[in-house]
């Protein structure tokens, strides 16, 4: 057990919540620094944020039993990547005004001359495609979605997750993003992958494909608001 602010939290829960909580804290810091210290290049907060998340994931790596279960090759090698591509296509087309909470200008990794700052580009792609999918799927699907179904979430097989847990977790996942409607759709897709495949790796892979292709598309089009 871990005691946080007077609350006793199981280590299994804490290990899946902490990386996500770190990510959200640094996200809030980016916004505060942009307002309070405009001279600071807040784009460099992103690599620090990703480093903090990686450190937490690595520290608790032995606890993530779901990551050590080998997935079915059909789900991981074919269905998950296809779902990831479908989510990407839907994501960039679900940006109508009512679907957007207003995320600002987005992450622009160019320098003053308009050239790419390649360290920023590569760190952003690595974070989005390799780190964020693992961190978010551990939190949203493996922990929260199962916990909504039953508090002893580790004892719950993915196939037994009910519609209520899927909908609540997907809506919350959606509102983590400025494109909230696209986020809900993505959450539903990743939740279905987890429940249907019985493994966390298919939603991780689909999520990684979505984020990687989205990042490459943003770099090619300059649609920074999607990043």
Please report, for the chain, the start and end positions of each structural domain, with discontinuous segments joined by +.
Answer: 2-226
User: Tokens 């608001």 correspond to what residue?
Assistant: 225
Contact at 8 Å (CB) between 164 and 172? no
Proportion of the chain in helix, strand, coil states, percent, rounded to 5: 75, 5, 25
**Encoding tokens for residue 165?**
């847990």
The whole-angstrom separation of Cα 132 and Cα 90 is 19
- What tokens appear for 17 in the block? 């919540």
pLDDT reported for residue 22: 98
Query: For 78-106, b where at least 16 C-beta lie within 10 A, e where not — what string?
Result: ebbbebbebbbeebbebbeeebbeeeeee
Question: How do the pLDDT tens digits run along the chain, 227 residues long?
Answer: 666 655 678 999 999 999 999 999 999 998 888 778 888 899 999 999 999 999 999 999 999 999 998 899 999 999 999 999 999 999 999 999 999 998 778 999 999 999 999 999 999 999 999 999 999 999 999 999 999 999 999 999 999 999 999 999 999 999 999 999 999 999 999 999 999 999 999 999 999 999 999 999 999 999 999 99
Closest Cα to residue 148, out of 132, 177, 168? 168
CA nearest to 66, candidates 162, 156, 185, 192: 156
Distance (Å, whole) CA 188 – CA 191: 5
Distances (CA, A) of 46 to 36, 51, 57, 179: 17, 9, 16, 20
Q: How many residues does the chain have?
A: 227
The confidence score (pLDDT) of residue 1 equals 64
For residue 2, the cross-strand partners are: 9
């Amino acid at each position: 057990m871990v005691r946080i602010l007077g609350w006793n939290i199981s280590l299994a829960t804490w290990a899946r919540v902490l990386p996500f909580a770190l990510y959200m804290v640094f996200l809030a810091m980016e916004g505060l620094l942009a307002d309070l210290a405009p001279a600071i290049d807040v784009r460099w907060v992103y690599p620090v944020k990703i480093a903090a998340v990686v450190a937490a994931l690595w520290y608790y790596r032995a606890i993530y039993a779901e990551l050590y279960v080998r997935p079915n090759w059909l789900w991981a090698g074919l269905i998950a990547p296809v779902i990831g591509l479908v989510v990407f296509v839907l994501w960039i087309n679900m940006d109508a005004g009512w679907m957007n909470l207003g995320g600002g200008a987005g992450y622009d990794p160019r320098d003053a001359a308009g050239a790419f700052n390649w360290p920023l580009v590569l760190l952003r792609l690595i974070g989005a495609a390799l780190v964020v999918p693992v961190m978010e799927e551990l939190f949203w699907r493996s922990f929260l979605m199962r916990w909504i179904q039953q508090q002893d979430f580790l004892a719950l097989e993915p196939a037994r997750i009910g519609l209520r847990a899927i909908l609540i977790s997907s809506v919350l996942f959606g509102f983590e993003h400025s494109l909230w409607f696209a986020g809900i759709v993505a959450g539903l897709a990743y939740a279905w992958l987890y429940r249907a495949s019985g493994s966390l790796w298919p939603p991780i892979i689909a999520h990684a494909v979505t984020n990687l292709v989205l990042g490459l598309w943003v770099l090619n089009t300059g649609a920074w608001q999607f990043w």
